[in-house]
């Protein structure tokens, strides 16, 4: 009775990352006992229509159904500091980020920003995000409370930062770990929500806090771990001074048990191949944040290096260091970055690969393969309805596209929130 079908142009991905496209497609979804809608079947309308003749069909002619985007690294409390100018990461943290985050001790402020943040994700077609909150537990409750009301698949956690941080955001070692465990018990695996153990980055945590975070990560092995690494040269120098025993900045995290499946590190720019190999061997993933890296002047993610060694990665906005919630803007920035430092001249990343890196590929890197991001049968039905004629230029360019790569590239280069006409969420919205 709960089965429904949607007919439109249909973009999906194979589990291996191949883009699949039907000019006339059908997406059949049904609600399971847990209240979550999952894909029953997807493919060409002509092949599937007869088998689902009893099922009500919503028809969106000329629209494109596509998997919802995943943002692998974003800070909801930094929504209001997008575009704050600074001479690089460390002054930006001190002058804008920490003052803005101080306000999240106030639950009402946290709830207000969380509501605005989820509205923005939705308008831009982001259906899952791995999110920093602040060091205040109230910010975590605001985040998960709002995600739960909307039925979203979301991950987040309380920031751990017990040193080299100003009053107002600095937490206390023992209490921060007690708070983290209480928040794991309160929110982790509650419906579609997942907890992320979130040391801000090595320079702002004591050894004791990092050790405690690693112990929690071992005790709750299906939680996420979420932090930053090797973003900016001054930051790398600082981390090396603070942890002289470690082989590299990244190696600090291994020493505390903070690298494993579902561990995600933003940036991973200033790496060598030994760092990349450590990422691969531990199943740790990089969240590549090109608009942030360009805006803060941090550097360029090395796609060739990641491929050479086989390091997992996917795309992220890193708002407020990043300049946009739009996955289209992030994919375009990744295209620019992918050309930087290439040893083989030629095109940058293929449009279908950019798209995969923000959907199924990001899901895989997050340890959510088979759960979201592809619209394969059995996955959760978080999907977008895109209008490829949302602007006059988009209408003209997408009509001229001769093949799938040209169509996807037109959407990436010219697209923004206007493309996203509807977002269908797999989870049930629950009233406040």
Residue 115 contacts residue 146 (beta carbons within 8 Å)? yes
Nearer to Fe ion, 80 or 421 (CB): 80
What is the rounded CA–CA span in Å between residue 235 and residue 249? 9
- Least distance from C-beta 148 to ligand GUN, angstroms? 25
The correct pick among 5, 74, 97, 256 for binding ligand GUN (CB under 6 A) is: 97
What is the rounded CA–CA span in Å between residue 41 and residue 299? 42
Binding-site partner at residue 89 among ligand GUN, Fe ion, none, CB < 5 to 8 Å by type: ligand GUN
State whether residue 142 is helix, strand or coil. Answer: helix
- Least distance from C-beta 259 to ligand GUN, angstroms? 17
DSSP symbol at 380: B
* String marking each residue 285-314 x if it binds ligand GUN according to CB under 6 A: -------x----------------------
108 membership: H or E segment, kind and range: helix 107-124
For residue 138 the two structure tokens come to 């109230």
The correct pick among 201, 271, 303, 355 for binding ligand GUN (CB under 6 A) is: 201
Residue 278 contacts residue 285 (beta carbons within 8 Å)? no
For residue 361 the two structure tokens come to 């590929």
Q: Which stretches within 10-106 are classed as H helix?
A: 45-48, 89-92, 98-102
Nearest to 8 by CA among 355, 379, 380, 383: 383
* Binding site residues, Fe ion, CB under 5 A: 266, 318
Nearest to 143 by CA among 233, 212, 75: 75
Residue 262 within binding range of ligand GUN, rule CB under 6 A: no
Nearer to Fe ion, 93 or 410 (CB): 93
Binding-site partner at residue 93 among ligand GUN, Fe ion, none, CB < 5 to 8 Å by type: ligand GUN
Nearest to 230 by CA among 254, 278, 265, 198: 265
51 membership: H or E segment, kind and range: none
Nearer to ligand GUN, 10 or 93 (CB): 93
What is the rounded CA–CA span in Å between residue 56 and residue 4? 6
Nearer to ligand GUN, 229 or 408 (CB): 229
Residue 231 within binding range of ligand GUN, rule CB under 6 A: yes
Residue 40 contacts residue 380 (beta carbons within 8 Å)? no
For residue 4 the two structure tokens come to 């429904």
- Least distance from C-beta 268 to ligand GUN, angstroms? 12
The correct pick among 22, 120, 302, 318 for binding ligand GUN (CB under 6 A) is: 318
* String marking each residue 145-184 x if it binds ligand GUN according to CB under 6 A: ----------------------------------------
Residue 228 within binding range of ligand GUN, rule CB under 6 A: yes
Residue 227 CA, distance from chain mean position: 13
- Least distance from C-beta 132 to ligand GUN, angstroms? 7
Nearer to Fe ion, 266 or 311 (CB): 266
- Least distance from C-beta 235 to ligand GUN, angstroms? 7
- Least distance from C-beta 110 to ligand GUN, angstroms? 16
CA angle (367, 371, 372) in 5-degree steps:
100
Please give the residue whose beta carbon sits closest to ligand GUN in the complex. 321
75, β-bridge pairs: 132
- Least distance from C-beta 161 to ligand GUN, angstroms? 8
Could you tell me which stretch among 89-97, 243-251, 339-347, 357-365 binds ligand GUN (CB under 6 A)? 89-97
* String marking each residue 47-86 x if it binds ligand GUN according to CB under 6 A: ----------------------------x-----------
327-339 vs 404-414: helix crossing angle, rounded to 10: 110
Nearer to Fe ion, 296 or 363 (CB): 296
Nearer to Fe ion, 232 or 326 (CB): 232
Count CB-CB contacts under 10 A for residue 36.
Answer: 18
308 membership: H or E segment, kind and range: helix 303-309
State whether residue 283 is helix, strand or coil. Answer: coil
Binding-site partner at residue 357 among Fe ion, ligand GUN, none, CB < 5 to 8 Å by type: none
Binding site for ligand GUN (CB under 6 A): 75, 89, 93, 97, 200-201, 228, 231, 292, 318, 321
């Amino acid at each position: 009775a709960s089965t429904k079908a949607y007919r439109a142009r249909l973009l999906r991905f194979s589990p291996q990352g191949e883009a699949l496209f039907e000019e006339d497609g059908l997406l059949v979804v049904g609600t399971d006992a847990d209240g979550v809608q999952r894909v029953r079947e997807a493919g060409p309308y002509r092949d599937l229509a007869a088998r689902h003749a009893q099922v009500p069909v919503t028809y969106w002619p000329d629209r494109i159904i596509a998997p919802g985007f995943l943002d692998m690294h974003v800070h909801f409390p930094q929504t209001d500091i997008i575009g704050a100018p600074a001479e690089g990461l460390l002054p930006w943290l001190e002058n804008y980020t920490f003052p803005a985050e101080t306000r999240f001790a106030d639950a009402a402020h946290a709830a207000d920003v969380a509501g605005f943040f989820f509205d923005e994700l939705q308008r831009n077609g982001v259906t899952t995000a791995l999110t920093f909150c602040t060091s205040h537990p109230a910010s975590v409750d605001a985040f998960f409370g709002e995600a739960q009301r909307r039925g979203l698949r979301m991950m987040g956690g309380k920031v751990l930062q017990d040193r080299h941080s100003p009053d107002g955001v600095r937490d206390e070692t023992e209490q921060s770990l007690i708070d983290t465990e209480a928040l794991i018990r309160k929110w982790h695996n509650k419906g579609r929500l997942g907890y992320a153990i979130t040391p801000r980055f090595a320079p702002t945590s004591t050894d004791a806090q990092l050790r405690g975070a690693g112990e929690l990560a071992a005790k709750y092995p299906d939680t996420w771990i979420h932090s930053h690494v090797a973003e900016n040269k001054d930051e790398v120098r600082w981390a090396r001074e603070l942890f002289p025993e470690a082989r590299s900045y990244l190696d600090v995290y291994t020493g505390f048990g903070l690298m494993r499946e579902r561990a995600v590190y933003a940036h991973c720019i200033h790496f060598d191949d030994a760092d990349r190999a450590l990422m691969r061997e531990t199943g740790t993933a990089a969240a590549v944040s090109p608009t942030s890296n360009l805006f803060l002047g941090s550097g360029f993610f090395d796609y060739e290096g990641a491929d050479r060694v086989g390091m997992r990665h996917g795309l992220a906005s890193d708002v407020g260091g990043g300049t946009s919630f739009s996955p289209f803007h992030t994919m375009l920035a990744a295209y620019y970055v992918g050309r930087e430092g290439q040893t083989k001249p030629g095109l940058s990343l293929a449009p279908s690969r950019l798209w995969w890196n923000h959907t199924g590929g990001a899901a895989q890197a997050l340890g959510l393969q088979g759960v979201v991001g592809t619209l394969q049968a059995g996955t959760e039905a978080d999907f977008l309805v895109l209008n490829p004629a949302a602007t006059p230029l988009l209408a003209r360019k997408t009509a001229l596209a001769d093949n799938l790569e040209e169509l996807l590239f037109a959407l990436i280069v010219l697209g923004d929130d206007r493309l996203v006409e509807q977002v269908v969420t797999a989870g049930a919205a629950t009233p406040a």
